[in-house]
Chain A
Amino acid sequence: MNKALLTYLVWPLVKFLIAFIIVQLIVVAMTWIERRLLGFIQARLGPNRVGPWGLLQGIADPVKLLLKEDILPTSAEKIAYFLGPMLPLIPAFVVFALIPYGPPPAFTVTRVNVGLLLILAITSTAVYGIILGGWASNNKYSLMGGLRSAAQMVSYEVPFGLSIVGVLMITGSLDLVQIVRYQETNAWNFLPQLVACFIFFVSMNAENNRTPFDLPEAESELVAGFHTEYSGMKFAFFMLAEYSMMIVNSCLIVTLFFGGWTFGMFGVGLTTSVLRGMGFFGGILGAAIFFAKVMVFMLVYVWFRATFPRFRFDQLMDLGWKWMIPLALGNIFVTGLFILAGQERLMYWIGLALLGATVFYLGRKPAPRKGIHASRVSEA
């Protein structure tokens, strides 16, 4: 077997498979973790019957879904109905080939020098499946869910992309490995790009249709939105795609803003060179750090779900177009100014101050409750 084949086909495939399996294991684990964590927050237990602490719930659920009857509504558009759940899966899986999980080259599947653009391009196609599924079900609720999803994803794709621009301007590269390497020698990007990080975080919640942006499937309004008519494995595919996309986005935010597989700043701590020095174990450690960070963001998703009510559709659009996009554009402008002035280090301090101010603002004591006894006795 020649070396080129090995380098460009066999190894990437093997690595992709490993990454894919790990990610799918996380998906399975997330179905359990999410419900246990929700249970913990909501003063109840969560699934605790299948296996020790309910750990096997993640297996029991897919088995149940596989065995369920696969219902095809009589008036559904058959081809589109079948394509609906498949289409979101493809981008969600392909993207895992582009994410650097650990120190390169061993722990990156493929290294593409425009990796970030490619990821953005691929992930944005996920919405087609949802629209298609919503439309093909021939159900008004599904249709509304699909339309909401289309509008929402298109709107939030813009701040999503714009928020990345600031990072690109600082790091000067679209290569994810380069971006991580930049962060270990300087600060993690969330400090200089705090606003961008926030916008990215909000947008990725919206992209994934997670609370408080879960309008396309808003249970109390649209029954189940675009997947109302889906059952069995097709429904499971939608869920799989959703959770995979959650992981993709968590991977992205970790890579772009939180130092990827490294655990150190300004060249101090577990940087790439330190990890490489530890050999294969160092690589594993880097990947472990990476997935630990990813899990933190996955848990934040769950935390959000437990905490927030849902936005209304027009409010969601307002937030996207009137706040997120101008904010992202402003962030690009300000970043540009700092770079022109050559004061990139100053941005760390500003970021730190902003962070401190936010924590202080959120942590202050709530105002005392005011009664509502403004009697207004009717004239009658």
Chain B
Amino acid sequence: MFDVHEMEVNFGPQHPSTHGVLRVLLKIDGERIIEAKPVIGYLHRGTEKLFEHMAYPQCIPHTDRMDYVASATNNLGFVETVEKLMGVTKQIPRRAQILRVILSELQRISSHLLWLATHAIDIGAMTPFFYCFREREQILDFFEAYCGARLTLNCMRIGGMPEDVPAGWLEDIEAFCDKFDAAVDEYESLLTTNRIWKRRTVGIGVLSPEEAIEWGITGPPLRGSGVEWDLRRAQPYEIYPELDFEVPVGKNGDTYDRYLVRMEEMRQSNRILKQCIPLIRETPAGDLKAKISKVIRPPEGEVYHSIESPKGELGYYIVSDGKTQNAYRCHVRPPSFVNLQALPAMARGHLVSDLVALIGTIDIVLGEVDR
């Protein structure tokens, strides 16, 4: 029963700013959104089903394909979960742990850069896109130098890391870190104090902390709402307890605060990287694998483990039957999927132009939403 003023618009799945194949069914009055209903599943590939039919190490490449702009953290979450299930978390050599942190922080920066690039271009600012890709390209080069792949890294193994760092790699990263803070300043100079940018983001899609928790929001959107909660801090894994970094927190829970939080997170990741380089130099080269059996067959049981991916809490829930080399069930708790759920609540009453800002600020990757 439509009022004559209402119009239904199909926003996506082919649309420049839905970051993939998100489809949002919009009911609009003029340009004002009465109702937004996300429709997902266009990229569903049955990853969880595949996990049940593969040996644990074979699953790692499939985790790459979930959040395909942050595959290192996906790998990390999976291998840590299996290690936790096997009870070998403590045996992972220190060098491997540091290397994991380096890779996942590089990945965090790269993912945030991609977010900023697309978020800015959604709001109409074209130039930050290219500036961000300039730095992201360097990070992808580091990945390529480490494991040969730029996007789907498959760079971690259960019980350690596959390879030692290539020659000159750490020096390159150091050089990158030295320049990166200035690069973030450059992005900020284009956006942070720009009045149009502020008018487009301040007060848009406000989430109170209570609402954010109610919706299960994690990651930068949760911190943007003012909840100081980061799994790297709250439930630290790998060598995060030793590292000195801050958890940036917003105040208002709007799009602008989430933007600021992510910008600050890039700086903090850079800070972590700078600390990791000397640490990894202290460890003996080649000490990368724990002494665990070649055949991964965890005992019977179930385990949930999560890490802080660039998008939020990335969790794996694995049920093992103890008999086979396959997971009996591996459920993924994808941050984008859960965060996206709050979109209708955030979008209600805003304009169509704000919807693209909101999709951008949630930072979804449809590969992860649909799995």
Expressed in whole angstroms, the minimum distance between the Cβ of A269 and any Cβ of chain B is 37
Q: A41 to B228, alpha carbons, bound, how many Å?
A: 38
* Nearest 7 A/B pairs, CB to CB: A310-B124, A376-B226, A220-B17, A42-B130, A309-B125, A220-B122, A309-B124
Q: A221-B353, A366-B193 are in contact. Are A309 and B123 (CB under 8 A)?
A: yes
Name the residue among B185, B200, B355 with the largest chain A CB count within 10 angstroms: B200
Q: A314-B351, A371-B248, A371-B264 are in contact. Are A308 and B196 (CB under 8 A)?
A: yes
B251 and A374 contacting across the interface, CB-CB below 8 Å:
yes
B31 and A144 contacting across the interface, CB-CB below 8 Å:
yes
Q: Residue A315 at the B interface, CB < 8 A?
A: yes
Name the residue among B31, B197, B213 with the largest chain A CB count within 10 angstroms: B31
Q: A38 to B353, alpha carbons, bound, how many Å?
A: 24
Tell me the chain A residues, 8-55 only, with Cβ under 8 Å from chain B.
38, 41-44
Q: A312-B351, A313-B353, A380-B213 are in contact. Are A219 and B16 (CB under 8 A)?
A: yes
When C-beta atoms are compared, the residue in chain A nearest to B8 turns out to be A140
Pick the contact of B131 from A42, A220, A221, A313 — CB < 8 Å? Answer: A42
Q: A223 to B199, alpha carbons, bound, how many Å?
A: 22
Q: A144-B31, A366-B193 are in contact. Are A42 and B127 (CB under 8 A)?
A: yes
Q: A310-B124, A312-B354 are in contact. Are A373 and B248 (CB under 8 A)?
A: yes
Interface size on B, residues (CB 8 A): 53
A377 and B228 contacting across the interface, CB-CB below 8 Å:
yes
Tell me the chain A residues, 355-380 only, with Cβ under 8 Å from chain B.
366-367, 369, 371-378, 380
Tell me the chain B residues, 249-268 only, with Cβ under 8 Å from chain A.
249-251, 257, 260-261, 264
Chain B positions within 8 Å of A, measured between CB atoms, are 7, 9-10, 15-17, 31, 120-127, 129-131, 134, 185, 188-194, 196-197, 199-200, 209-210, 213, 226-229, 246, 248-251, 257, 260-261, 264, 351-356
A309 and B200 contacting across the interface, CB-CB below 8 Å:
yes
Pick the contact of B353 from A307, A312, A371 — CB < 8 Å? Answer: A312
Q: A308 to B190, alpha carbons, bound, how many Å?
A: 8
Q: A221-B17, A312-B199 are in contact. Are A307 and B351 (CB under 8 A)?
A: no
B249 and A374 contacting across the interface, CB-CB below 8 Å:
yes
Chain A positions within 8 Å of B, measured between CB atoms, are 38, 41-44, 140-141, 144, 211-212, 214-215, 218-223, 305-315, 366-367, 369, 371-378, 380
When C-beta atoms are compared, the residue in chain B nearest to A377 turns out to be B228
Q: A214 to B124, alpha carbons, bound, how many Å?
A: 9
Residues on A with C-beta less than 8 A from B257 are 372
When C-beta atoms are compared, the residue in chain B nearest to A313 turns out to be B31
Expressed in whole angstroms, the minimum distance between the Cβ of B252 and any Cβ of chain A is 10
Name the residue among B129, B196, B209 with the largest chain A CB count within 10 angstroms: B196
When C-beta atoms are compared, the residue in chain B nearest to A314 turns out to be B351
Q: List 26 A-B contacts (CB under 8 A).
A: A42-B129, A141-B9, A215-B353, A218-B353, A220-B16, A308-B194, A308-B196, A309-B191, A309-B196, A310-B123, A310-B196, A310-B353, A311-B124, A311-B196, A311-B199, A312-B199, A312-B353, A313-B31, A315-B199, A315-B200, A369-B185, A369-B188, A371-B264, A372-B257, A376-B228, A378-B227
Q: A376 to B253, alpha carbons, bound, how many Å?
A: 11
Expressed in whole angstroms, the minimum distance between the Cβ of B179 and any Cβ of chain A is 14
Q: A232 to B226, alpha carbons, bound, how many Å?
A: 50
Q: A312-B351, A313-B353, A366-B189 are in contact. Are A220 and B124 (CB under 8 A)?
A: yes
Expressed in whole angstroms, the minimum distance between the Cβ of B28 and any Cβ of chain A is 9
A212 and B124 contacting across the interface, CB-CB below 8 Å:
yes
